[in-house]
Amino acid sequence: MNASGDDGRVGYRRPPKETRFKPGTSGNSAGRPKGRRKLAADLRDELNEMIKIVEDGRELVVSKQRAVVKALVAGSLKGDLRAIITLFNSLGCQADG
């Protein structure tokens, strides 16, 4: 055996010395691809963000999803037909008519 602990043999888990990675270099220099985020993941993250709203003179901290639901229900109570249809469709109800 020589000073580097290599006896020159080639075989299982012993690649030829010329093809081994040089010290300090990576075998995967480009790294793992980052990949793209899916639309559903972006939407979920955005809807989970917290915002401040004012309700009945009080300031509340709610998720954006909760704020959208509150606005949809409030619009329905005011008689906004689109809000009513959207609300019932989201509940799985069919609007007749």
Q: pLDDT for 15-54, tens place per residue? A: 998 888 888 887 788 888 888 889 999 999 999 999 999 9
The residue extents of the domains of the chain are 38-92
Q: Is the pTM of this model over 0.75?
A: no
Q: Burial level of 84, CB count in 10 A (0-12/13-18/19+)?
A: middle
Distance between CA atoms of residues 54 and 63, nearest Å: 13
How many CB atoms lie under 10 A from the CB of residue 65? 14
Residue 3 has pLDDT above 60, yes or no: no
**Token digits for 46?**
């955005």
